[in-house]
Amino acid sequence: MTLRAVAWDIDGTLVDSEPLHHRALVAVCARYGLTIDPEDQSFVGVHIGDVWARLRHRLPASVEQARWLEELHAYYAAQSDTLQPMPGAIETMHALAQAGVSQICVSNSVRAVVDINLRSLGVTGLLSGSLSLDDVAAGKPDPLPYRMAADRLALPPEAVLAVEDSLTGLRSARAAGLRVALVGPEAAQTNDADYALRALTEIPALLGVPTPA
């Protein structure tokens, strides 16, 4: 079936957000006497719920998860002007929009972070919508987020291309029946993706759209 729409992951795919997520974690934990090495990359790309599970016993007992998350999001929002798009992201999204290709974002981040990221990119108007962790009963790697994305686009899953930078996202999209383009370092580590891409600017050609200049 011909590809007719794109479902984008956001963090690490459209926006280089991991450095800011990590700085927020380091700063907020420091407020409670927990030192995290700024060079410690073991939390990068980890679901925030799993980060909390790893750290909760090292934080004061009085710190509640909801409060901790609010502080992380507040730090992230305050520093969001430091966010940078991934190379080719904005050009590619505009090229698809100009060709009439529907686009939606599917993220494992909460709604507050999704909205901050999309505002920083300036692409909200190009989208048919977005799905956050707050919008689904189960996040990636569960197939539900991408199934819901296809439903919102009113398209069969096989007509939608998921663009991901992680194996977690790949598994979610694959289980939902979407075709998957994997970008970034993970693309060289698996044969499960339909397309292993070196750059986001390769995506329009997969949908018969001219490559952005």
The pLDDT assigned to 184 comes to 83
Q: CA-CA distances (angstroms) from residue 148 to 1, 39, 124, 133? A: 19, 37, 18, 12
Nearest one of 147, 156, 129, 133 to 73, comparing CA atoms = 133
Instruction: Give how far Cα 183 sits from Cα of 8, 39, 96, Å.
Output: 11, 24, 17
Domains and CATH numbers, the chain: 5-16+84-206 (3.40.50.1000), 18-82 (1.10.150)
pTM: 0.90
Write the pLDDT tens digit of every residue in 96-153: 999 999 999 999 988 999 999 999 999 999 999 999 999 999 989 999 999 999 999 9
91-103 pLDDT, tens digit per residue, is 999 999 999 999 9
Work out the average pLDDT over 79-91. Answer: 96
Greatest Cα-to-Cα distance within the chain, rounded to the nearest angstrom: 56
Beta bridge partners of 8: 105, 163
Q: Taking residues 190-198, what's their average pLDDT?
A: 87
Neighbours of 207 (CB within 10 A): 16
Question: Residue 77 above 70 pLDDT?
Answer: yes
For residue 182, how far is the Cα from the chain centroid?
12
